[in-house]
Structure 1
Amino acid sequence: MFLSRIVGQAVFDPVGDQVGKLRDVVLAVRSARQRPRVLGLVVEVLGRRRVFLPITRVTSMDSGQIITTGVLNVRRFEKRRAETLAVHELFDRTVTFGEGLTGTVYDIAIDQDPRRDWYVSDVAVQEKSKRFGRRGASHVLEWDQLTGLAQEEISQGATHLLATMDEMRPADLANALRDLTPKRRLEIVAELGDERLADVLEEMPEKFQAEILGVLDPERGADVLGEMSPDDAADLLGGLPAQAAEQLLRLMEPDDAEDVRRLMIYEDRTAGGMMTTEPVILPPGATVAEALAMVREPERPPALAAMIYVCRPPVETPTGRFLGVVHFQALLREPPSTLVGAMVEGDIDWPRPEASLSHVANLLAAYDMVALPVVDENQHLLGAVTIDDVLDHLLPEGWREQDDTSTEGGLVR
C-alpha cells in the first residue's frame, strides 16, 4: 500500500465516526539493510492537533479508510530521536541504486507480514534525467537495494512532499510545518510559491514567522510580504528588529509598502492596528451586479466579502466621504441594475482607528456583523476590521501553539 494513496484519508473509530485524518506514518529506521518497521500513524484530530496512533491500535487500513480501536493519545505528537516520518522526511530523499544510478524518492509502500506487523516493503524512485526537461525513469525497489535512506541528507528537496500537501488548507499546512525540524521546515518553505507561503505565514505563530522570514533572501521576503494582507504583514514586520523591517519595506512594491507603513503607526490592540486597508469599496453609482462580481472573486476572504463599503471617490483607502455599508445578503435581494448608493446603511457610529479592542468587539456583537468599517474624524474610510482579527486578539496569547489535552478516554503516549 503506497502512502501517497492513504495520506489525507479519514480515520474512523469502530462505530464509524471520523476521529481525524492520516498525515504521516512513523517508522523505526535501523539500517540500510534492515527494512523499517511501522511504529504508528500521525493523525490530525479536531483542532488541527496531531497525535500518535500506535499501529497496534489500527484494525484495518486500505486506500479508502483507516479504522482504529477508538482509543487515541491526548498529547500532541512529538517525534523521538529514533523515529522517522515517512512522508515528511523520506519523500524527496536522494538515493543511489543499481550501477551508479541516482534518483529521488517519491513514494513508499508498506505491507503487513504474517505476524501482522507492518514494514516498509518498497520504495518508488524517480531516476534523475540526463536530458533537460525530461522526466527520468521510475523504479520500484526494495529498501536494501537503495543507498541514502538511512542517513539524513544535507540538502533535501520537497517537490514530492508538497504534492501530498497540495489540497491542505493554509492553516493545516502551517500546523504541519510547525512540527518539523527547522532544517526540513526551511527546505519546504524554499519550494513553496510566494502566494502559498504568504497564506501559510499568516497562520503561523510569530516565532515561526520570524524564523522563516529571517532566512529568506530579502527580495523574496519582500515579495512574500506583498502577497500577505496588509494587516498581517504589518503585524509580522512589527515583531522584527527595526532595521530588518525597514529593509524589507524598501524592497516591497511602493503601494504595498505604503499600506503597511500606514498600519504600523497604530497600537496593536486598536481598530487601526487590526484593520486591513483592502475591503471591497465601491462608489454610490456602482450597481448590484458590479458589487456581486467583486465579492465573487475567489481570493477574497469570506469576512471581507460579506460587506460592501460605499464611498465618494477616491475609492482607495483613505477614501472620500464614507456613506455606509451594504450587506452581501441585501445584494441578493435586489435587481442587478440597482445602485448600491440607494441601499447603504450608515446609522451606526463607526469606530475610529484609536478605538479599543473591547469597543470593536462590542460593536460586532451588538450589530451581528462580521466586519466593521474604520473611519477618521472626517468620515473617510481607512479600512475594515474583520471578526477573525478580533478573535485573534481576544484569544489567549500564543493560542496557535496551545495544545488542548482534554480528550476523554485517551491514553498518554
Structure 2
Amino acid sequence: MAAGASRVFVSHLSGIAVFDPNGDQVGRVRDVVVMLRGQPAPGAGSPQRERPPSVLGLVVEVVSRRRVFLPMTRVTGVESGQVITTGVVNMRRFEQRPSETLVLGELLDRQVSLVETGEQVTVLDVGIQQLPARRDWQIDKVFVRRLRRGKGGALRRRGEALTVEWSAVTGFALEEREQGAATLLATFERMRPADIANTVHHLTPKRRVEVAAALDDDRLADVLEELPTDDQVELLDELPDERAADVLEAMDPDDAADLLSELAEHDKERLLQLMRPQDAAPVRRLLSYEEGTAGNMMTTEPIVLQPDDTVALALARVRNADLSAPLAAQVFVCRPPDETPTGKYLGLVHFQRLLRDPPFTLVGSIVDTDLRPLPPETTLPAVSSYLATYNIVAAPVVDEGGHLLGAVTVDDVLDHLLPDDWREEAAQRLPIAGGPRAEGVVRYGG
C-alpha cells in the first residue's frame, strides 16, 4: 500500500500471504503487534489529540509453523490480499515483550468505553494506516458495536456498529476478566486445526481459556489433538467437567486416551464416568494396555467391512473426509460384528487394489491375507520396523482370539517416537543467531 493510501483493518490481514520482492512466499500473517499509549479517561469530554498507538510489526508464520517478527519498516506494500516485504526477515522465534500487545489475540472482543458518553462497546476490528512519506504505521480507527441491554442489564440484542477514531474510545489498558472470543474465532474459519492450535498455543493463558470456551466441542476436540500435552491438560482442567467429557467424546479415542493418561487417577476416572458408555469403552480399552505398545497407540475406529461388502462400498467409506490419510489407505475385512473388537479378522485390502477392481467385486475375494497382524503387546520399535519393512502406513492389531482391536497408523507411531515437545522443536529447526530482533536475519529474494 502506497504512503497515504486507505487504511487496512487488521482482521483482513489475518492469514494473508507475505511475499518477498521476487514473488516468493515467506509466510502468512498471524497477528499484528502494537504498542499502546495512554488514552483519555472516561468522561473526559472531547477526545484528546494525542498520537495514536504505533504498529510495531507483524507476527508471520513461516516454515514449520515457526512464528517470527516482521517490523513494519520492512513492509513495502499491503495490497491485493498480500503483504510485500523488503526481502529481509529475522528468523528468531517471536517472543512477545511486556510492552507489546497483539491485536487479534488481545484487543478484539474487548469491551471498551466511548469517551464522550461512557457507553460500553465491543471491539470488532482495528484499522491501521501508514503515515505519509514514512514507513511507520499507527492505529487510527476502531470498529465497535454498541451493547444493547434490557431490564436487569441483560444483553438484549446486537446494537449499532460504528467506526470511531482511536482517541474516541478508552479502556484498552484495563484488565478484562471475561473477554469474549467471537471476533477472534471468525479469523479461524479457514484455518486448519493444527494452525489454530499453533495460534492458541501462543495466546496468553487467559485468552486460551476464553477461546476454548467459545469453540464448539468438535472444533475444540480437533484443536486439542494438535496442542502440546501441557496445553491440553491446562485447557481440559479449565473446562467444566461436563464440557470436558463432551470434548473427550468428540476426540479420537486414542488421542482422548493419551490426554487422560496425563491426569491424576481420580480425575481420569471422574471424566470417564461422565462420558457416554459407548465413547468411554474404547478409551478404557486403550488405557488398559501398557504405554508404548501397539494396543496403547492404536485407533479403535479403522474402516471395517464384511467379506460380502463390495468394492463400491469400500471406496465410499474411504472417501469420508473426516478420515486421516493413513486410515483411508486400506480397509480391514472381518466377520460380524464390524465394530472393534470385531468378529474374526480375515485380512485387509489396500486402497490401490480397490481402484483396480470393478465396483461390484466382493472385498472378501481380494483380501490380502499374507500380511500378519500385530498383537496388542507389540512394542514401539517393533511396530516401527513392521511399518518400514512392509512399506505400509497402518497395521492391524489383533488379539489372541483373532478379533481386530484397531489399527496403528504411522502418525500414531511418530507421535510416540518424537519428543514430547516436538511441536515446539519443529518451530526452531531453522538456524538463528543470538542477540536482539535485528540479528539472525535471512535475506529472501537474493
Aligned-partner Cα distance in 1 for 2:182–2:196: 15
CA contact (8 A) 1:165 1:173 kept: yes
1:104 corresponds in structure 2 to 122
Mapping for residues 49-68 of structure 1, pairs under 5 Å: 49-68=66-85
Compute the displacement of 1:294 (Å): 1.5
Match of 1:44 in 2: 61
> CA–CA distance in 2 between the matches of 1:119 and 1:353?
60
SS of 1:128 mapped into structure 2 = strand
C-alpha separation between the residues in 2 aligned to 1:32 and 1:408? 38
**One-letter amino acid of the structure 1 residue matched with residue 62 of structure 2:** V
Secondary structure at the aligned position of 1:111 is classed as strand
C-alpha deviation, 1:130, in angstroms: 4.0
1:30 aligns with one of 37, 62, 66: 37
Instruction: Give the deviation of 1:103 after TM superposition.
Output: 1.7
In structure 2, the residue matched to 1:75 is 92
1:339 to 2:362 alignment: yes
Q: Which residue of 2 aligns with 1:119?
A: 138
Equivalent residue for 2:244, pick from 206, 221, 226: 221
Instruction: Give the corresponding residue for 2:107.
Output: 90
Unaligned runs of at least 5 residues, structure 1: none
**Unpaired stretches in structure 2, ≥5 consecutive residues:** 1-7, 41-50, 442-446
Cα contact 1:72–1:411 (8 A) shared by 2:
no
Q: Which residue of 2 aligns with 1:140?
A: 163
Q: Partner of 1:162: helix, strand, or coil?
A: helix
Q: 1:32, 1:147 within 8 Å by CA — same for their partners in 2?
A: yes
**Aligned partner (choices 379, 388, 394) of residue 402 of structure 2:** 379
Q: How far did 1:8 drift?
A: 0.6
Distance 2:220 2:308 in 1: 38
Residues 92, 432 of structure 2: 8 Å contact kept? no
**CA RMSD, Structure 1 to Structure 2 (Å):** 1.6
What SS class does the counterpart of residue 389 from structure 1 fall into?
helix
Aligned mates of 1:82, 1:412 — CA distance in 2: 22
Alpha-carbon distance in 2 for matches of 1:268, 1:401: 23
* SS at 1:40 equivalent: strand
Q: How far off its partner does 1:6 sit?
A: 1.7
Residue 424 of structure 2 corresponds to residue 406 of structure 1: no
- Letter of the structure 2 residue corresponding to residue 211 of structure 1: E
One-letter identity of the residue aligned with 1:124: F
Give a deviation string over 1:369-407, Cα, whole Å, max 9, x none.
111110112221010011111111122332112242534
2:225: which partner in 1?
202
What letter matches 1:116 in structure 2?
A: R
Q: Using structure 2 for the length normalisation, give the TM-score.
A: 0.89
Distance 1:151 1:75 in 2: 30
The answer as to 2:147 corresponding to 1:128 is yes
Aligned length in residues: 413
CA distance in 1: counterparts of 2:192 and 2:323, whole angstroms: 15
Q: Distance in 2 between matches of 1:327 and 1:400?
A: 31
Give the equivalent residue in structure 1 for 2:287: 264
Secondary structure of 2:122's partner?
Answer: strand
Among candidates 146, 151, 174, match of residue 174 of structure 2? 151
Asked if the contact 1:303/1:371 (under 8 Å) is kept, the reply is yes
Answer whether contact 2:149 2:156 (CA < 8 A) is retained.
no
Aligned ranges 1:242-391 → 2 under 5 Å: 242-391=265-414
- The percent identity for this pair of structures is 56
CA offsets 1:13-64 (integer angstroms, 9 cap, x no match): 1211101000111000011154110111100001111111111111212342
Which residue identity does 1:112 align to in structure 2? Q
Tell me how far apart the structure 2 counterparts of residues 203 and 226 of structure 1 sit (CA, whole Å): 16
Q: Which moved more, 1:20-29 or 1:357-366?
A: 357-366
TM-superposed deviation, 1:150: 2.6
What is the TM-score when the length of structure 1 is the normalising length? Answer: 0.96
- Does the 8 A contact of 2:31 with 2:103 survive in 1? yes
Taking CA–CA contacts closer than 8 Å with sequence separation of 6 or more, which of the two structures ends up with the larger relative contact order? 2
Provide the rounded CA distance (Å) in 2 between the counterparts of 1:152 and 1:333.
Answer: 63
